[in-house]
């Protein structure tokens, strides 16, 4: 993963560091919850700042299956297990999404899946 021109940024309600940079022409936000921090809280904090034509990359110990149903109407997401066993999830905002995600819904009921 090659994140260029990256700098730490402050994301409201986040409990881990977020980095903003670019991957080619795409503005990209990145956060890592593999060493701590609540995945749902940080995912919702990151998704709340995401605009169309940007992406959010989450590194986690597993795919956050409890998150997906909460955001499916507004966001696309794709997870992939990396060679080191960490799961990378790439989120992007759907064009013309008609519903708005409740970013305060940070309780997790699904765990890994």
pLDDT of amino acid 68: 93
Q: Give the residue-averaged pLDDT of 55-79.
A: 95
Which position has the higher pLDDT, 94 or 108? 94
pLDDT of amino acid 48: 95
The model carries a pTM of: 0.93
| pLDDT averaged over every residue in the chain | 92
Task: Pick 4-93's CATH classification: 3.30.110, 3.40.390, 3.40.50, 1.10.260.
Answer: 3.30.110
pLDDT of amino acid 96: 83
Structure tokens at 94: 């759907």
Strands (E), 1-113: 4-9, 18-23, 26-32, 54-60, 75-81, 87-93
Q: Give the residue-averaged pLDDT of 35-56.
A: 95
Model confidence at 110: pLDDT above 70:
no
Q: Give the residue-averaged pLDDT of 41-69.
A: 95
pLDDT of amino acid 17: 97
Spell out the domain ranges in the chain: 4-93
């Amino acid at each position: 993963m090659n994140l260029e021109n990256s700098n730490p940024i402050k994301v409201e309600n986040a409990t881990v560091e977020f980095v903003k940079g670019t991957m080619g022409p795409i503005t990209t936000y990145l956060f890592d919850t593999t060493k701590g921090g609540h995945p749902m809280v940080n995912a919702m904090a990151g998704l709340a700042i995401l605009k169309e034509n940007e992406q959010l990359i989450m590194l986690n110990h597993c795919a956050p299956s409890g998150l997906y149903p909460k955001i499916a109407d507004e966001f696309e997401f794709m997870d992939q297990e990396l060679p080191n066993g960490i799961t990378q999830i790439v989120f992007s905002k759907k064009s013309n999404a008609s519903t708005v995600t409740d970013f305060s819904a940070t309780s997790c009921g699904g765990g890994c899946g």
